[in-house]
A = this chain, B = another copy of it.
Amino acid sequence: MPDIRKLGEQGIIDLFKVSRAQPPITKSIGDDCAAIRLPGGKLLLWTTDMLIEGIHFERRFGTPKQLGAKSLAVNLSDIAAMGGRPIACLLALSLPHDLEQNWISEFRDGFTSLAERHGCPLIGGDTCGGREEIAISVTVLGEVPEDQVLWRSGAHDGDDIWVSGIPGTSALGLRILADGGDIISDEARIAVNKHLDPEPRLEPAEDLAESGQVTACIDTSDGIAVDLGHLCGESHLGALLEESLLPLPAIPPGREDDPLELALQGGEDYELLFTAAPAARVIFEKVRDLHRIGKMDESSNGVFMQRSDGGRERITPRGFSHF
């Protein structure tokens, strides 16, 4: 009897695609959030993400406060990817019995400060105890004017591809933590902070949505190769990245990580990856921290990269897979 590794994450998701989206459900499985039409021209956005100790995080790598904030941040990032604004959140926790009270208070502080900062009050949840590993499940509701929503599916042939931040930085940080490497250099500190304290790009995403220039958007949770692949799939187009344009994470002195590999395959940046017509360059080139990295291309079947040496290479997702 085959086990679920044969299916992989996408295979499992496909198994559950049985309900057709009917009004008021506007978007079902297949985007950063589900979307439900509200009276008055708005869409209700809805997302959930689960963080399991030993899979998504190690307690020893960061503080409880960082983990609390990150467990909300990864969900807020899905709201950002739709151009939305959060409304409220719920938190479900499974905690080991011997967890210190301080741990949970600090986790709460991290969670609720980020929630407050983004106007996303914690209004309910569920809690249980007994297993050794912590399990955290968060769900967030948000909203966006229907005429501003950023789907994964709207990119056009020839659109520029943009990314915020430096892709691969979080994955570098995770490697440094996992290796027990020094966190003395600026490069190491930046990478580790990015991994432990991702900042959901809600305000920039709202600006993007309001600009009316963005044709498709996704957040970079699994790495550019995977996430751009999703955007391509939903937009029925290929993509051609340009190596010369791709910003690369700065590797701390003494380490030998491959910055290009990290930038293409590293997950958990929780930045914005989006597309826009070339006419919008004049706007986005002025925005701090936005990088144009390639273009959508209907003649490519998947994600490719134009190498600086002239060759063209297919980018196969090797991003983090749980299965």
B46 touches A121 (CB 8 A): no
Residue with the greatest number of chain B CB neighbours at <10 A, chosen from A13, A94, A139: A139
Q: In the assembly, what is the distance between CA of A5 and CA of B36, in Å?
A: 40
- Identical chains bound together, number: 2
A308 within 8 A of B: no
Assembled-state Cα–Cα distance A105/B16 (Å): 8
Q: Is there a chain B Cβ closer than 8 Å to A104's Cβ?
A: yes
- For the A-B complex with A9-B128, A129-B322 known, give 13 more contacts whose Cβ atoms are closer than 8 Å: A3-B100, A4-B100, A15-B105, A16-B111, A19-B112, A28-B122, A38-B38, A38-B39, A39-B40, A49-B126, A52-B128, A97-B323, A135-B135
Residue of B nearest to A55 (CB): B130
Whether a CB of chain B sits under 8 angstroms from the CB of A118 is no
Choose the segment among A85-93, A152-160, A191-199, A311-319 that binds chain B (4+ C-beta atoms closer than 8 Å): A85-93
A123 touches B34 (CB 8 A): yes
A29 to B115, CA, bound (A): 15
| A287 at interface, CB cutoff 8 A | no
| A29, B98: Cβ atoms closer than 8 Å | no
**Inter-chain contact B46/A127, CB cutoff 8 Å:** no
Selected A-B contacts with CB under 8 Å, 26 pairs? A3-B98, A3-B100, A3-B101, A4-B100, A4-B104, A5-B98, A9-B128, A18-B112, A19-B115, A19-B116, A20-B121, A21-B121, A22-B121, A28-B122, A29-B122, A34-B123, A36-B87, A36-B88, A36-B141, A38-B38, A38-B39, A39-B40, A46-B139, A50-B92, A129-B323, A130-B322
